[in-house]
Structure 1
Amino acid sequence: MKAIGWDDVKGCAVLEKYCKKCGDFYPMTSEFWYRDKRSKDGFRHCCKGCYSELPSVIKRLQIF
């Protein structure tokens, strides 16, 4: 997790989190991260884009 980034659009500081799968930083909002109440920061370890590519999720979403 990156301590603080600067958001020029809103003019305020935003927290960013590192995605362990793709290696990018994204703002810590529900727009980019799924919630996980078991984690310390309240979000999953990988971003929404990477999460949807996990084999277990793909298998669950397949239509038979």
Structure 2
Amino acid sequence: MMKNCSTCGELQPATSEYFYKCEHTKSGLRAQCKKCHKQYDKAKRKEYNNQYYHANKELFKKYNETYRKKKAIAQYINNGV
């Protein structure tokens, strides 16, 4: 049995080797092939991370400053002993 990917349109065997499982569909497999689904997830994750970073830029800046100070103090103590 063969199945078309809804994104790339490739005809592939309808097995869990090519499509992720999904209990909500008749075939029990997702509409996107694994390759397309991975690309989609990667792009969405990158977009979300960028949005989160820009929304919390000051928080990241503050964390980096305190981390560097703690790291410098720890190195000073370890090298001084």
Q: TM-score, normalised by structure 2?
A: 0.52
- RMSD, aligned CA: 1.5
RCO comparison, higher one (Cα < 8 Å, 6+): 1
Whichever of the two has the greater Rg, that structure is 2
Identity of aligned residues (%): 33
Give the counterpart letter for 1:49 in structure 2: K
Task: Give the drift of 1:31.
Answer: 0.7
More strand by share: 1
Deviation above 3 Å: which 4+ runs of structure 1? Answer: none
Q: Does 1:43 align with 2:25?
A: no
Return 5+ residue gaps in structure 2 as ranges.
50-81
More helix by share: 2
Task: Give the drift of 1:40.
Answer: 1.1
SS in 2 for 1:17: strand
SS in 2 for 1:52: helix
Q: TM-score, normalised by structure 1?
A: 0.64
Aligned residues: 45
Give the counterpart letter for 1:18 in structure 2: N
Q: Does 1:18 align with 2:15?
A: no
Give the counterpart letter for 1:34 in structure 2: Y
Matching residue of 1:34: 20
